[in-house]
Homo-oligomer: A and B are copies of this chain.
Amino acid sequence: MSLGAVPCSECALRRLSAFAPVEGDELAFIQSMKRAHFRFDAGATVITNGQERADLYTLYSGWAYRFKSLPDGRRQILNFFLPGDLVGLQASMFTHATYDVVALTDIQVCVFSSSRLWDLFRAMPTLAFDVTWLGARSESLVDDNLTSVGARSAAGRVAALLVTLFERADTLQLVAEGSLEFPLTQQHIADALGLSLVHTNKTIARFKRSGLIELRGGRLAMSDRNALRRIAQSFESEITPRPLV
């Protein structure tokens, strides 16, 4: 499972314009905190509810998701992780995790010792600030999902989710020729949006029939993103990259 790691200085994520440049001492510190580079198969559990002293991860490639389960078997997906996302910050700051994280596709992650998080705060305030910023951004994504689930119709929820994921993927240059490798099943969408599987299916079917989206064979394309935004009454909070400190 462990892998000959690419050094952080060569990290492919670093080359994307979506990420702020990091250099010198900071890069060295990140490298020193990195404990391993793992792979997980699709469906594998990365963090389990109740787990103590969970590690901190950066998702290097692939998709994952975070959810809570209720005793009756229902579950609520809280957010989806795309490459570059920080996974497990909450879990690594609390004594035990309050959610599960599962790989949606085969994934690769960089593993950081959560026990050294405190060292990072002491030695590298700029990085600590970044971590906090990433945590705030993560909350902002959950805010958006809550707004969707609480205040939008089924069609609005689906539209908002698809547009948001599409645009996040686009930023990461995962969209090629207008379409995107899309690993969510309709059950995932239903669990994220608080809808039943059947109704989710019918809502998506309507979007397909009206030509707003194409979704076959695990690829998603959308012909008219603005129409979908209108259905969602969209106004997703756009977050600009962290200000220079």
Cα–Cα distance between A133 and B92 once the two chains are bound (Å): 10
Enumerate A75-106 residues with CB–CB distance to B below 8 Å.
75-76, 78, 89-90, 93-96, 98-99
Q: Nearest B residue to A235 by beta-carbon distance?
A: B72
Q: Main SS of the interface on chain A?
A: helix
Q: Which residues of B contact A72 (CB under 8 A)?
A: 233-237
Q: A235: which B residues are within 8 A, CB to CB?
A: 70-72, 74
Contact residues of A between 103 and 150, Cβ < 8 Å to B: 118, 121-122, 125-126, 128-129, 131-133, 135-140, 142-147, 149-150
> Does A146 contact B136, Cβ atoms closer than 8 Å?
no
Interface size class of A (residues with CB under 8 A): 35 or more
CB within 8 A of A194: which of B71, B133, B151, B245?
Answer: B151
CA distance A137 to B95 in the complex (A): 12
- A176 proximal to B (CB < 8 A): no
Which chain B positions have C-beta within 8 A of A143? 68, 78, 98-99, 142
Q: Which residues of A in the span 185-243 have a Cβ within 8 Å of any Cβ on B?
A: 192-194, 233-237, 239-240, 242-243
Q: List 6 A-B pairs, minimum CB-CB distance, nearest first.
A: A150-B194, A98-B237, A139-B139, A76-B147, A121-B125, A76-B150
